[in-house]
Structure 1
Amino acid sequence: MKFTNGFWRIRDGVQIAYATEVRDVRTEAKRFTTHAAVQRVTRRGDTLNAPLISAECFSPAEGVIGVRLTHHSGKRRKGPEFTVAGVEGGAGEVRTVDGVTELTSGPLTLRLDRAAPFTLSFRDAEGRELTQAGAKGAAFATTDQGEHHMVGKLALGVGEQVYGLGERFTPFVKNGQVVDMWQADGGTSSEQAYKNIPFYLSSRGYGVFVNHPGKVSFEVGSESVGQVQFSVEDQTLEYYVVAGPTSKDVLARYTGLTGRPALPPAWSFGLWLTTSFTTSYDEATVMSFVDGMSDRGIPLSVFHFDCFWMREYQWCDFEWDPDVFPDPAGMLARLKAKGLRISAWINPYIAQKSPLFDEAAELGHLVRRANGDVWQWDLWQAGMGLVDFTSPEACAWFQSKLKPLLDQGVDCFKTDFGERIPTDVVWHDGSDPERMHNYYTELYNRTVFELLEKERGQGEAVLFARSATAGGQQYPVHWGGDCWSSFEAMAESLRGGLSLSLSGFGFWSHDIGGFEGTPDASVFKRWLAFGLLSSHSRLHGSSSYRVPWEFGDEAVEVARRFTLLKHRLMPYLYGVGVEAHRTGVPSMRPMLLEFPGDPACRPLDRQYLLGADLLVAPVFSEDGEVEVYLPEGTWTQLLTGETVTGPVWRTERHGYDSLPLYVREGAVLPLSADDQRPDGDWLDGLTLLVHPTAEPGYARTVTVPHQDGTTAATFRVRRDGDTLSVTAEGGDRPFTVQVAGGASATGTGEVSVPLT
């Protein structure tokens, strides 16, 4: 939200007061509070009829410093609140020398000079200023309409770039944009977002998390071109500056505060196929799809039933449509006999025609208006109500309706929607409706995820979720929402996914081929390669099927090629997933995460790294022409063995069975011998594909995980002169060492391969 009219003036109808002069500083061992006047105080009379802005400064965890700006502190906080982890009693240490108060937490220091105009300076371990809340950096604004906003501003350095703020489909670098945190079902081609995360990452090696679940308005170098401004309609604004020094360090610390992603089960990394949305289908249709994939040699891991598995006008009653699926338990058993997992679509809305509506209303499990009426509307489902997940009893009731599906054989749920949440309602726990609008999805996805963990066991729970807010990364997987079936929408989807990855989300997917409309064969085939080189891969559409043979024989070949490739890559990909689970560093990584010192990588949003070592550049054209940037080092095309030395920009042309897929110099890729499933025995016939550097001291360590995330085997790779030696620790089965473009050898324990 903008408050000024250019640099000099304030907007009509707005009054704004800036923290100007420090009046006192109260210190404790691990925190301090300062009170700032909003004008210069030259005499005692200036302290009358004038407000103060309080700034509480503290550290919840090492490397993180929080600032809580308050005008009037008496407002009752109705919630909800983000869950923020931290050290009991706080971290950091406060000291004051010569009127300068500093709070230091790990590599981050906040500095306040009492003698200077009000300024909060954030500095790294070397004393370099990362950012500051300087002149006009803390304020409150009121309007003639009675609104009260708290405002924070942090400086942007020359050339500094800002990323994140959720799954945003607008330009990847957020500088110059106005970004409002407000959940909306806006598709992938607008400024609206399904996943609004009030956290941004700076190219200078720090991040900022605004700890407010309601509407946070960001002006990213827009209202004031040299600052990021964030404001909330409230009396208090709390934000955390998160230290690096690297972007990976920032994400690790941020997800340490808001929650690390759960590790999805290995089977979920395989190919998912759906009924699509409004298409006509029954068990015969489903079986024809499943058998058609098998007959064409395309391994399938999950089959998903979209909305119309239930009766029309009755979403959600969690009952199979008996006219279409008269024997659901038998059908699921028949699908499982083919080795498939089952996913079912749900949403948190209860249609009036559903028998569950009256039940939920009578039990008080639906959100109500202030007069006690159940909140209803006809958008999406006729007369639908909204489950009130602020009520523990409503959560348990909702879970009780899902459990019979799990007993039938359903393995996971697509938790659709969660964005269209009204603000003219009363919540069971008294939550502020404005704050609950964004936060609702956290309660919805958590309720379903916890049921899956309870019934299927930890490590087996997985969602396909559309909406999220800060903390939602704990309940993977999330997909990119409703996109068109075009190359432009394909690029939009990738841009949104990379933005989400820099917002703390470790796993992400999208609708291969696009959701709305029907893709032409060229779009579908190009999207297949991209989709099967994402952390999770799903074929899904709206009004048309997405089975590959609908798009020609070549599409079948492309689907088969990249599905088999993904299965072979699973020991590597699952290791990347384990890293995301343990550290918060995402599976699909914008180039800047791995190459922060290369300025050419900072704006790149049409290529990414899958883990640390595999560079993917999807092709967004029918003719196969694609630009790709390779940073410094030697890169090897995984599909052809061609080597390229960077840094270099390349324009390449690829057939539908190919794309730029480069392995980083020094990488060791563990490859499965089993290309038929994602969750096979990875140590059975394992190959280590080694891309050694030329340095004599080359050494790498790579682990192959068990499917619970623990380590199954560790391989230590080293160069001894003209020989590559690999030692295995754990696991006593034979493995093969393949030097890229060179010799190979197989053995147990220790294997040596000549490099020349």
Structure 2
Amino acid sequence: RELPASHADPGLELGSGLCRQSFALKDEEGIFGLGEQYGEFNHRGRTLVMDQDDAYQSKTGNTYIPIPFLLSSRGYGLLLNTYQRAIFDLGQKQPDRLRFANPSNRLDYFLFFAPGPKKIIEQYTSITGRSPLVPRWSLEPWISRQTIAGWRYAEAAQKEVELMLKEQFPLGVVLYENLLAGPREGPSLGLDPETKARMPEIINQWHELGIKVVGWASAGQIAPSTASLEYYGLDQHPEFLVRNPDGSLYLGGIDKNMAYLDITNPEAMDYAWRKIYLPLFSAEPDGKASFRNINLDGIKLDFCEFFPPDETPVLVKNPSPGLRLYHPTFFSEWIYQKLDAQRPGGGITWSRGAGLGAQRTGFVWTGDRGRTFSQLKHTHLARMNAAISGIALVGTDLGGYSAGGILSEQVYNRAAAIDCFSPAFHDHGRSMPPWEQSESGKKIYRFYGRLRYNLIPYIYSLVWEAHLLGLPIMRPMFFECPEDQNCWRIEDQYFLGEKMLAAPVLENTRSRKVYLPKGDWLDFWTREPVHGPKWIDRKVPLDIMPVFVRAGAIIPVQFNSSFELGGGFSQKDKDRLTPGFLVFAENNFQSSGTWNVFDPRETQKVEAALKISRQGGKIMVQDLSPAPSAVLVYGPEPEQVYHAGRPLLKSNCHELTPGRESRWCYRSRDSAAVIYLSQK
């Protein structure tokens, strides 16, 4: 929570029950991070409390994910190693002092010093953990509707998924909340009779269409009804649940009517996996779903923020301060590891809340947001602060969970562009879904959904980076250009990896200024060159978000049969797109690289590589894998293209299709040499 100056926490001032420390703040020093903070980018002058809230449409310091880690523009990181309700006064009470405190008789904290924010994040995540290598399919477009938006009944959900495919909206994952439960009930109970009767049929049908299926549950919570406890055998094991001092079940959750698993009891967690959760992620011997083995690919973990605060006495196996924040963090990581190992193609979690170490689970998301420009802006700030806090896999409910006003569709259009260039492309809620947009809105969503598939190899290479190095996927400007003081002040732009720069449109406008740091850049859409550092003006019609690529960059992608960006393909072909590369360069160049773009669950070889150059009118491809692959080289038409020293046959672009012999063509409409290589 954020404490206003008029309501400063007396504990921090007086030190009652707190252990405190303070540092000097320099005049221009900025303080960033501290979890999924919606209110500001630079927290200088604020007081933030590391506590969870149901941060519905928050624009302040209320958050689902408080992380006691900050990064200073002076070049250091600070981690307070606690799950307790720590307090950070970032120059509010005394403008020249950074003060922090923990409700304990000791402080355990780390200071990180390194040449640049990226190295600091590497150090910090080497201690707190890094993102798992989530399955590649989890980057595909998701669709979901809340039960009260019509998906309480199986027929409605099936018809609307069919409508998605009929409208040729790309689709990889369906998150169906009501497959497992009503909104306030435990796993496998509370289904409407029709949905319960058709559950295996629905899952099998979607799997046959190449769609992964994700269910829903409250994080570590069990419905305490007699029927529920008997169903799972927990009536015989009350010690596996959190209890009040008198031995009765502690009831919490959003409606104060849910029991909690005791995560501090290893025997309880082993029992919960076998009796409650394993059947959700298991299949029959023929790979199908049944009532006994539900065959889900993942689970959404909701209502993570309602575990009792430390001052509420409860009975658990191994009591420890900070269980309120540790409970959802542990549970999310625990179930992710279990289900990912159980599922042949990997599994995924989609969690709303956690504390320190939140990055060790699958995805987190920014919670229930409204579909307005104001909410879109604060959602973006939360993503940036979460990234600074070491959380790489941050998603949203695309455009907002709750209905907005008259500009709702414009917000949705802008959000589709942002989420295309982000860790997750996930639509859920009770606002207008893609099939209810205007024809122009449908076209925009369809294009960015298809472009999302083009970009999955590049984004998955960043998932690998997050897994190996701890680096976020969406990066504040100063991560890549810490020496540029402008980049510490710009909050409405970000890097996607180190090669792409995006400038999201977060208000109702048709133009915006974009800052390009030092170096040569190419407009992703027009390939217009820009030399930085420089502020430029850009027109931003509803279907365009400014995106720039470093000159000389190679972006690993995948293509449809026409080698297009944002081009169409069938549902059955989404898993058979052609690997390839985009090469952004002016005139003569030489570029090469190797990227981890494949999922080791699916293939032994995870790398893609390209070495390419241009001299005068000649393009030379020296090395390329995997084969077959395609390369788009933007720029003037070459005289000849060579592969391994041999000239390739030039053809008409309509004759250039996957599966044929190696050839090249020049496509005037996007000024690209299209090179298809059928073998290495």
Q: 1:728 to 1:743 in 2, by over 3 A?
A: same
Are the equivalent residues in 1 in contact too, given 2:44–2:92 (CA < 8 A)? Answer: yes
| Counterpart among 301, 318, 326 of residue 197 in structure 2 | 326
| Counterpart among 102, 109, 113 of residue 232 in structure 1 | 102
- Report what 2:597 is aligned to: 705
Counterparts of 1:322 and 1:648, CA distance in 2: 61
Are the equivalent residues in 1 in contact too, given 2:558–2:577 (CA < 8 A)? Answer: yes
Q: Which amino acid aligns with 1:539?
A: D
- Report what 2:112 is aligned to: 242
Are the equivalent residues in 1 in contact too, given 2:554–2:592 (CA < 8 A)? Answer: yes
Counterparts of 1:12 and 1:580, CA distance in 2: 36
Q: Which amino acid aligns with 1:524?
A: Y
Are the equivalent residues in 1 in contact too, given 2:31–2:44 (CA < 8 A)? Answer: yes
Q: Which amino acid aligns with 2:599?
A: Q
Counterpart mapping for 1:491-640 below 5 A: 491-518=377-404, 520-541=408-429, 544-640=430-526
The answer to which structure has the higher helix fraction is: 2
- Report what 1:356 is aligned to: 228
Are the equivalent residues in 1 in contact too, given 2:495–2:502 (CA < 8 A)? Answer: yes
- Report what 1:402 is aligned to: 277
Counterparts of 2:641 and 2:576, CA distance in 1: 13
Using structure 1 for the length normalisation, give the TM-score: 0.76
Q: Secondary structure at the match of 1:619?
A: coil
| Counterpart among 716, 738, 746 of residue 611 in structure 2 | 716
Counterparts of 1:411 and 1:199, CA distance in 2: 32
Shift of 1:478: 0.8
Counterparts of 2:264 and 2:644, CA distance in 1: 55
Are the equivalent residues in 2 in contact too, given 1:735–1:746 (CA < 8 A)? Answer: no
Counterparts of 1:179 and 1:667, CA distance in 2: 40
Are the equivalent residues in 1 in contact too, given 2:141–2:449 (CA < 8 A)? Answer: yes
Counterparts of 2:10 and 2:578, CA distance in 1: 72
Q: 1:12 to 1:334 in 2, by over 3 A?
A: closer
Are the equivalent residues in 2 in contact too, given 1:466–1:481 (CA < 8 A)? Answer: yes
Q: 1:720 to 1:272 in 2, by over 3 A?
A: same
Q: 1:334 to 1:2 in 2, by over 3 A?
A: closer
Aligned length: 617
Q: 1:683 to 1:438 in 2, by over 3 A?
A: same
Counterparts of 1:436 and 1:341, CA distance in 2: 33
Counterpart mapping for 1:252-401 below 5 A: 252-281=122-151, 282-306=153-177, 309-311=180-182, 314-317=185-188, 320-347=191-218, 348-353=220-225, 355-357=227-229, 359-360=233-234, 362-363=236-237, 364-377=239-252, 380-381=254-255, 383-399=257-273, 400-401=275-276
Q: Which amino acid aligns with 1:528?
A: A
Q: Residues 33-79 of structure 1, C-alpha deviation per residue, up to 9 Å, x if partnerless? A: xxxxxxxxxxxxxxxxxxxxxxxxxxxxxxxxxxxxxxxxxxxxxxx
Q: Which amino acid aligns with 1:517?
A: A
Counterparts of 1:12 and 1:465, CA distance in 2: 30
Counterparts of 2:65 and 2:546, CA distance in 1: 29
Counterparts of 1:573 and 1:497, CA distance in 2: 16
Counterparts of 2:640 and 2:592, CA distance in 1: 18
Deviates more, 1:702-711 or 1:530-539: 702-711
Q: Secondary structure at the match of 1:443?
A: helix
| Counterpart among 21, 39, 51 of residue 170 in structure 1 | 39
Shift of 1:256: 0.7
Are the equivalent residues in 1 in contact too, given 2:558–2:581 (CA < 8 A)? Answer: no
Q: 1:313 to 1:252 in 2, by over 3 A?
A: closer
Q: 1:149 to 1:648 in 2, by over 3 A?
A: same
For structure 2, which runs of at least 5 residues remain unmatched after alignment? 283-293, 561-566, 648-663, 667-671, 674-680
Deviates more, 1:581-590 or 1:683-692: 683-692
Shift of 1:305: 1.1
- Report what 2:80 is aligned to: 210
Q: Which amino acid aligns with 1:246?
A: G
| Counterpart among 435, 440, 443 of residue 327 in structure 2 | 440
The answer to which structure has the higher strand fraction is: 1
- Report what 1:688 is aligned to: 581
Q: 1:630 to 1:677 in 2, by over 3 A?
A: farther
Are the equivalent residues in 1 in contact too, given 2:618–2:639 (CA < 8 A)? Answer: no
Counterparts of 1:372 and 1:632, CA distance in 2: 64
Q: 1:426 to 1:734 in 2, by over 3 A?
A: closer
Counterparts of 2:401 and 2:88, CA distance in 1: 30
Are the equivalent residues in 2 in contact too, given 1:672–1:683 (CA < 8 A)? Answer: no
Shift of 1:264: 1.3
Q: Which amino acid aligns with 1:386?
A: Y
Q: 1:12 to 1:605 in 2, by over 3 A?
A: closer
**Percent of matched pairs sharing the same residue:** 24
Determine if the alignment matches structure 1 residue 153 to structure 2 residue 45: no
Are the equivalent residues in 1 in contact too, given 2:420–2:452 (CA < 8 A)? Answer: yes
Shift of 1:643: 2.8
Q: 1:646 to 1:670 in 2, by over 3 A?
A: same
Shift of 1:718: 4.5
Counterparts of 2:404 and 2:270, CA distance in 1: 40
- Report what 2:285 is aligned to: none
Q: Residues 327-367 of structure 1, C-alpha deviation per residue, up to 9 Å, x if partnerless? A: 21111101111110001111122233362246435412221
Counterparts of 2:511 and 2:646, CA distance in 1: 41
Q: Secondary structure at the match of 2:421?
A: coil
Q: 1:350 to 1:704 in 2, by over 3 A?
A: closer
Shift of 1:625: 2.8
Q: Which amino acid aligns with 2:240?
A: H
Are the equivalent residues in 2 in contact too, given 1:274–1:305 (CA < 8 A)? Answer: yes
Q: Which amino acid aligns with 2:264?
A: T
Counterparts of 1:679 and 1:704, CA distance in 2: 25
Shift of 1:595: 1.0
Q: 1:411 to 1:250 in 2, by over 3 A?
A: same
Root-mean-square deviation (CA, aligned residues, Å) is 3.2
For structure 1, which runs of at least 5 residues remain unmatched after alignment? 17-140
Q: Which amino acid aligns with 1:573?
A: I
Q: Which amino acid aligns with 2:37?
A: R
Q: 1:651 to 1:446 in 2, by over 3 A?
A: same
Q: 1:454 to 1:732 in 2, by over 3 A?
A: closer
Q: Secondary structure at the match of 1:367?
A: coil
Counterparts of 1:412 and 1:456, CA distance in 2: 9
Q: 1:725 to 1:208 in 2, by over 3 A?
A: farther
Q: Secondary structure at the match of 1:236?
A: coil
Determine if the alignment matches structure 1 residue 451 to structure 2 residue 338: yes
Q: 1:244 to 1:719 in 2, by over 3 A?
A: farther
Counterparts of 1:656 and 1:268, CA distance in 2: 27
Shift of 1:420: 1.1
Shift of 1:582: 0.8
| Counterpart among 331, 338, 350 of residue 464 in structure 1 | 350
Q: 1:369 to 1:637 in 2, by over 3 A?
A: same
Shift of 1:712: 2.7
- Report what 1:27 is aligned to: none
Are the equivalent residues in 2 in contact too, given 1:367–1:425 (CA < 8 A)? Answer: no
Are the equivalent residues in 2 in contact too, given 1:623–1:653 (CA < 8 A)? Answer: no
Max radius of gyration: which structure?
Answer: 1
Shift of 1:14: 7.9
Q: Residues 706-746 of structure 1, C-alpha deviation per residue, up to 9 Å, x if partnerless? A: 22296433223456577554422653435335134654976
Q: 1:15 to 1:177 in 2, by over 3 A?
A: closer
Q: 1:246 to 1:436 in 2, by over 3 A?
A: same
Q: Residues 673-693 of structure 1, C-alpha deviation per residue, up to 9 Å, x if partnerless? A: 136599989997444322236
Q: Which amino acid aligns with 1:352?
A: P
Q: 1:307 to 1:737 in 2, by over 3 A?
A: closer
